[in-house]
Structure 1
Amino acid sequence: MHNSYSFSQLRTKRLARATRPFLARGISVARCQSCHLAQFACICSWKRKLNIQMDLVLLMHTDEILKPTNTGKLISDILPNNCFAFEWSRTEPEKALLALLQDPNRFVVILYPTQATRTAYQSPVKAAGNKKLTLIVIDGTWRQSKKIFNLSPWLQPYPTLDLSLNQQASYELRKAPHAHQLSTAEATAQALKQCQQQNASELLHHYFNVFNLHYSAARIGQTPAPSISHQALEQYP
C-alpha cells in the first residue's frame, strides 16, 4: 500500500518549495539520497519494516524536515504503512491531517508531557477500545514542540500520552537541555512500548542506535563500528 503522506513525500514537497539552497553543515559530503547520511555510512541496508495495529502522525516543524540529523524520519522508515508525516501549520493545517484526526473510528492521543488541563494516559490501549489508536508525534526542538502543542487550536481536544521515563537521552548529535529529554525517535520507541507495540518499539530503538552510531562516525570520517543494535537488526526479515 502506497502512503501519500510518508516522510519522503513530505521532504520532496518541502524541497520543491524552498527558495534558497539547503546549506546544512556537511553539505559537501556525498550523501545517500534515501537516508541522507554520508554514503560510506549509509544505513539503508539496516532498514527493516513492520506493520502494526496503530497509526502515528508525525507532525513536523518546517525546520526539521530537511535536517540530516532529524530522527522523526526513522519512524516513517520502519512503519511505512502506519506513519503519516505532515508539516505543522498553526492556522492552516492540511485538510487530510484534520480529516485523519477527526475520523470517528480513531482514538487520538498526543505524545507530550502531562498537562493539568488535559487527560493523560500512561497506556491508552484500553481507553481506545475498538477504535484505532493514533499517536501524534510532535517533531521539533523542545522550544518548537512546546509552541506547536500550545498554539495549535485544532490540537486542543486531544489527551496526551505521558512517558514513563527511566532512561537518559542517548542522542549524541544534538544535546537537549535536560538528560531526560529524548529525541523524537527515542520518545516514540518508549511510547510504542507503552502502547503494547513491543516489536516496533525494539525495532525503532535499534534502528535509532544504528543511525546515531553511523552519523557520529561519519562526522569524524570513520567507518561505523558494529554494535549490539546491528546484530539485533540482522535478526529481522
Structure 2
Amino acid sequence: MGRYFGYHRTSTTEQHLERGLAEIETFCKKNDLKTKEIVTDQCTGKNFNRPGYTMLKRMVDEGDTLIITEVDRLGRNKADTMKELRWFQEHNVRLMILELPTTTIDFSSMDNEMGKLMLETTTNMLIELYVSLAEAEMHKREKRQREGLEELRKSGNWDKMGRPRKMSQIEFNLQYERVVDGEISPFKLMKELGLTKSTYYNYKKAYDSAGDWIKQFEIE
C-alpha cells in the first residue's frame, strides 16, 4: 500500500509555514490518512533546486501520494513545474492539490471509463491552467512592485517615509525583492549591501510601509 507525503513551501524564512502545514494535516485527519512525512522548504519557487524538495523526490516511490495545498507551493515557473508534474506521473506518484478538489478523487474506483477519462482530462487541464496563473501572478507582482515604487518616486510620496542616506530606498526595495523571492537570505543581502542590522531593518520598515501606497497603482 502506498504511503502519503506532504510538501509545503514559503518564499522566505520570514514567512510562516504553519498555515499550509495545518491545512495538509486537517485534510489528512478528515480523510483518515496518515502521512509518512511532511517536507518543507523556505526558498524561492522559481526553480526546484531546494534541499527539502530534492530530499522528497528521493523518498517517494511508485504508488505513493504527495499532498500539497496549492500549485504554486510546488513551483512558479510553468515549464519547470510541468516537467516536475510529469516526473511524478512517470514514477506513478499521485499528486493531490487541495485547491483542486478533483485531484483528491480516486479515479481508479470509478466503473464508468468515459467519465473517468473526462475527469482526468479536466483535472490535467486545470492543473496546467493553475500553473500558468501562478507564473503570471509572479511576473505581475514583480512588475507592479517596480512600477509602484517608480510612481512613488515621481509623485514625491516617498519623502513621507524618509530617505535613508546609505542608498536610495527604491534601490534597496529592488534588491530586497530578492529576499522576498527567496533568492537570497536577509543576512546575505545585509552583508552584500554593507548595511548594519539596524539600518537594514529601517529600510525594511520603509519597504513594508510602502505597501499601502503601492496598492493605489495595482490593477485588479
Both structures adopt the same fold (TM-score exceeding 0.5)? no
- Of structures 1 and 2, the one with the larger relative CO (CA 8 A, separation 6+) is 1
TM-score normalised according to structure 2 size: 0.29
TM-score (ref. length: structure 1): 0.27
